[in-house]
Amino acid sequence: MLNIKTIILASASPRRKEILEKTGLKFKVDKSGCEEKTEPGMRPHEIARFLSREKARHVARKYRNALVIAADTLVVLRGRLFGKPCNEEDAREMLKALSGKAHSVITGFTIIDTASNKELSRSIQSKVFFKRLSRDEIAAYIKSGEPLDKAGAYGIQGLGALMVRRIEGDFFNVMGLPLHALAGSLKKFGVNILS
């Protein structure tokens, strides 16, 4: 694995850091502080790619010879976007809406080579099937504190896994970084993880 450039993960997410660590790549974390604003009329895949690109560009300005990776994850149910809940009541409403239904998790990611200005953005979709949740189950999950900093008010890598009947697609995408697609895209920047 030839890796000369510094790799920067432009994210404060401990889950994305954990996923990227699975590759064995050496990287630094530099949180993007950019404001997450979108253009009106954008579709979910466009939003995920747009936000990941904005985050990557924000961090890329600081580095001369680096590969910057950024991502943004959305939960979508019948066209409605679910970001991170504002409070417990917001989390309760999200979980009630997702209960017993299938929804999509879309993660957009962007890679920027700051030396050449080469840029690549992709978005990956997974489908998540929730079991029907009782009022008590929702209350207990909210009490755990886990849903409050996660898109859609749940984390599949924690207690939230108990609410998921099955998924179609990349598990790591649901966690926030589609590892298979990311590894394939990194090859286009000369980073071959399995060689």
Number of Cα atoms under 13 Å in the Cβ half of residue 175 = 19
Averaged pLDDT for residues 61-87? 94
Domain of residue 47, residue span: 6-187
CB 49 within 8 A of CB 112: no
Is there a domain that residue 18 lies in? yes
Q: Which residues does 113 contact at the CB level (< 8 Å), separation at least 6?
A: 5, 66, 67, 119, 189
Instruction: Look at residue 3 and tell me whether its pLDDT is greater than 60.
Output: no
| Mean pLDDT, the chain, integer | 93
The residues assigned a catalytic role are: 72
Q: What pLDDT does 2 receive?
A: 45
Predicted pLDDT of residue 108: 97
- Share of residues in the chain with pLDDT > 70 (%): 97
Chain position carrying tokens 């009490």: 143
> Is the confidence at residue 1, as pLDDT, over 50?
no
In a domain, 147, yes or no: yes
In a domain, 182, yes or no: yes
Mean pLDDT of 9-23: 93
Q: Is residue 1 part of a domain?
A: no
Look at the chain and report how many structural domains it folds into. Answer: 1
**What's the CATH code of the domain at 12?**
3.90.950.10
From CA 89, how far away is CA 70, in angstroms rounded? 30
Note the pLDDT of residue 25: 93
Distance between CA 85 and CA 94 in Å, rounded? Answer: 8
How far is it, in rounded angstroms, from Cα 61 to Cα 86? 30
- For residue 195, what pLDDT is reported? 66
Predicted pLDDT of residue 153: 95
Tokens of 105: 């998790």
Q: How do residues 106-161 score in pLDDT, each as one tens digit? A: 999 999 999 999 999 999 999 999 999 999 999 999 999 999 988 899 999 999 99
φ/ψ of 162, rounded to 5, equals -70, -15
pLDDT at 194 over 60: yes
Domain assignment present for 192: no
Pick the more confident residue, 194 or 64: 64
Rounded CA separation 156/115 (Å) = 36
Distance between CA atoms of 112 and 155, rounded to whole angstroms? 28
**Residue tagged 């917001």 (tokens):** 90
* Residues 22-59 pLDDT 10s: 999 999 999 987 777 777 889 999 999 999 999 999 99
